[in-house]
Amino acid sequence: MTSKDDHSALATAAPWAAPAATGPLDAVVTLPGSKSLTARALLLAALGDAPTTLAGVLRSRDTALMRAALTVLGARFTEADGDASRLHVTPAPLPLPVDTGPDGAGHIDCGLAGTVMRFIPPLVLLADAPVVLDGDEGARLRLLGPLMAALAALGVGVSWLGRPGFLPVHLTPPAGPTDGRANNSTDGRAGGSQPTTASLDASSSSQFLSALLLTGPLLPGGLAVTPSGPVPSLPHVGMSVACLRERGIAVDEPSPEDGDGQRTWRVHPGRPRGGRVTIEPDLSNAGPFLAAALVAGGRVTVPAWPMATTQAGDAWRELLPRLGGIVTTEPDGVGTLRLTCRGTGRLNGIDADLSAVGELAPTVAALAVLASAQGHASRLTGIAHLRGHETNRLAALVAEARRLGASARERADGIEIDALPDGERLAPALLHAYADHRMATFAALIGLALPGTTLDDVACTAKTLPDFPARWEAVLAQGQGGEHGRGR
Ligand SMILES: O=C(O)C1=C[C@@H](OP(=O)(O)O)[C@@H](O)[C@H](O)C1
Ligand SMILES: C=C(OP(=O)(O)O)C(=O)O
């Protein structure tokens, strides 16, 4: 099944002419909600002990698919107060009543969303009928095997409908009730019984571990899960833990001193609390906008930046100065900051282990490619798992960097970009997005510095950020003689 939604229709449109910078920026960018926090908020609200009202919800392709998937499993969503970013969620009853088709299974379109294809399968442990998951062509290249092996060990019937280990897959709930219908505690610690135990290999995606943790409180006795090796993107696991705790579920995290294969996460049984939840702006998607100031000069400000957050994008505060920017903050609202990034037009190379924040790599790579033309080499390491993202991002970044005339290569766990020799320059090109929203924003950043850069598919940015081209053009119009008001 390939999605026939707006995204795939737009993907065939003419190439996008990436706007070039014509002067220093002076822009304020208000970003919609975090993709990762929205996915978790939707799922935990669907499993809640009472209705939830969500504010700051991201409305994008990934989150629409998550909503649709949870609707197949019995949750109900209604827009609140005519505001698209506010949602009332009525939780699903247990066992989850699957909306089945003529084949007796519920059908879930994962699009290209890692959060949907990984977070939904463990819910089959709580479901009353089988579920079939499929997605875009690119989604059929994203690994699911290790998560399914863990679910099979918990009694889920796993039947691969294509290549083993990948979508599409047919999942059958275990014969007996495995859901936590007895887990009625409100303190998140009742249940008393020994936890359900699982082990899994999460070395190719932290989402496998997050997926089990998010369903964990509904399993008999909760869940104790021990990944067999290293786990990338650990802040995203921390985000899953924080989201559970915010909803009253107790979670014991392993000690950072525990070695790979010895770390156990213990989720205590209970129903996630309903109530009101406000979702933070997407700090990963803030990256290209803040980085634009490094390329064009001037400044870009993001308001409502949380003072404390589990989002990987908080690392921009540390990464952008290393790449040549100046990052400052000032108080904004309660618990939030206005974060400003200033650029001078000069870029630095960077040698960075991005294992914890891999989703920031394409934006860092765009700056590194541009820095190579200013005589600086860069090395991004700890990101072998990016080969399993929306596309093989290591191959894609190297191919696109070379298309521009940069000297770049893949290493086992990352990429290297050489300093361009004196006298050599980068040249604009038609860049490829590979259906990957972050490869599209890579191209947008390159276009600021290389007039004439085009991109084959800007529509794929709708995966996590609606209206990206308009938002990008509005940022450029601010401070370059344009008449757009500041902020949006
Ligand atoms: O849990 C999440 O919301 C995510 C976890 C990370 O996945 P990986 O561990 O596969 O990198 C991240 O890159 C992805 O964008 C979102
Ligand atoms: C890896 C990413 O997405 P997904 O949630 O689809 O894994 C990403 O957004 O960079």
Ligand 2 mean position, distance from CA 358 (Å): 9
Query: Which atom of ligand 1 lies closest to the CA of 231?
Result: 9
Mutate to test the pocket of ligand 2, among 3, 7, 34, 35 (most ligand atoms within 8 A of CB): 35
CB 400 within 8 A of CB 431: yes
Pocket lining for ligand 1, CB < 6 angstroms: 36, 39, 114-115, 205-207, 210, 232-233, 236, 358-359, 385
User: Could you give the residue numbers annotated as active site?
Assistant: 359
Measured from the alpha carbon of residue 441, the closest ligand is 2
Mutate to test the pocket of ligand 1, among 206, 231, 360 (most ligand atoms within 8 A of CB): 206
Is residue 71 helix, strand or coil? helix
Q: Which residues contact 214 (CB under 8 A, 6 or more apart)?
A: 40, 43, 44, 119, 122, 240, 243, 244
- pLDDT in the model for residue 317: 98
Q: What is the DSSP string of 140-204?
A: GGS--HHHHHHHHHTT-EEEESSSTTSSSEEEE--SS--S-TT---SSS-TT-SPPEEEEE--TT
Rounded Cα–Cα distance for residues 185 and 49 (Å): 10
What H or E segment, with its residue span, contains residue 289?
helix 283-296
Mutate to test the pocket of ligand 2, among 7, 42, 438, 468 (most ligand atoms within 8 A of CB): 438
- pLDDT in the model for residue 480: 62
Pocket lining for ligand 2, CB < 6 angstroms: 113-115, 359, 389-390, 438, 464
- Residue with CA nearest ligand 2 atom 5: 114
Q: pTM value?
A: 0.94
Q: How many CB atoms lie within 10 A of CB 81?
A: 8
Strands in 110-149 per DSSP E: 131-134
DSSP 8-state assignment for residue 132? E
Q: How many CB atoms lie within 10 A of CB 12?
A: 9
Residue 116: HSE in the Cβ half-sphere, 13 Å Cα cutoff: 32
Q: Domain 35-278 is of which CATH architecture? A: Alpha-beta prism (3.65)
Q: Which ranges in the chain are annotated with CATH 3.65.10.10?
A: 6-33+280-477, 35-278
Please enumerate, by residue number, every residue annotated as part of a binding site. Answer: 35-36, 40, 114, 142, 205-207, 233, 359, 389, 393, 438, 463
Ligand 1 mean position, distance from CA 298 (Å): 31
Reported ipTM: 0.99
- Residue with CA nearest ligand 1 atom 10: 205
Rounded Cα–Cα distance for residues 289 and 217 (Å): 38
Ligand 2 mean position, distance from CA 243 (Å): 18
Please enumerate, by residue number, every residue annotated as part of a binding site for phosphoenolpyruvate. Answer: 35, 114, 142, 207, 393, 438, 463
Rounded Cα–Cα distance for residues 196 and 268 (Å): 10
Structure-block tokens of residue 208: 């496998």
Rounded Cα–Cα distance for residues 458 and 467 (Å): 10
Rounded Cα–Cα distance for residues 80 and 457 (Å): 33
Mutate to test the pocket of ligand 2, among 389, 436, 438, 461 (most ligand atoms within 8 A of CB): 389
Structure-block tokens of residue 6: 């707006």
Is residue 302 helix, strand or coil? strand
Ligand 1 mean position, distance from CA 125 (Å): 22
Rounded Cα–Cα distance for residues 354 and 352 (Å): 6
Q: Which residues contact 160 (CB under 8 A, 6 or more apart)?
A: 166, 168, 169, 170
Largest CA distance in the chain: 71
Q: Which fold has domain 6-33+280-477?
A: UDP-n-acetylglucosamine1-carboxyvinyl-transferase; Chain (3.65.10)
Ligand 2 mean position, distance from CA 82 (Å): 29
Rounded Cα–Cα distance for residues 55 and 69 (Å): 20
DSSP 8-state assignment for residue 133? E
Measured from the alpha carbon of residue 38, the closest ligand is 1
Q: Side chain identity at 334, as an amino acid letter?
A: V
Q: List the chain pLDDT tens, one digit each, 488 residues.
A: 434 444 444 456 799 999 999 999 999 999 999 999 999 999 999 999 999 999 999 999 999 999 999 999 999 999 988 888 999 999 999 999 999 999 999 999 999 999 999 999 999 999 999 999 999 999 999 999 999 999 999 999 999 999 999 999 999 999 975 655 444 444 444 445 799 999 999 999 999 999 999 999 999 999 999 999 999 999 999 999 999 999 999 999 999 888 887 899 999 999 999 999 999 999 999 999 999 999 999 999 999 999 999 999 999 999 999 999 999 999 998 999 999 999 987 999 999 999 999 999 999 999 999 999 999 999 999 999 999 999 999 999 999 999 999 999 999 999 999 999 999 999 999 999 999 999 999 999 999 999 999 999 999 999 999 999 999 999 999 876 443 333 33
Q: Which residues contact 442 (CB under 8 A, 6 or more apart)?
A: 362, 363, 365, 366, 397, 400, 431
Preceding peptide of 177 cis, ω within 30° = no
Please enumerate, by residue number, every residue annotated as part of a binding site for 3-phosphoshikimate. Answer: 35-36, 40, 205-207, 233, 359, 389
Ligand 1 mean position, distance from CA 385 (Å): 10
- pLDDT in the model for residue 218: 98
Query: Which atom of ligand 1 lies closest to the CA of 239?
Result: 1
Beta partners for residue 121, in sequence order: none
Structure-block tokens of residue 432: 């490829």
Q: How many residues does the chain have?
A: 488
CA torsion through residues 281, 282, 283, 285, sign? negative
- pLDDT in the model for residue 128: 98
Query: Which atom of ligand 1 lies closest to the CA of 232?
Result: 9
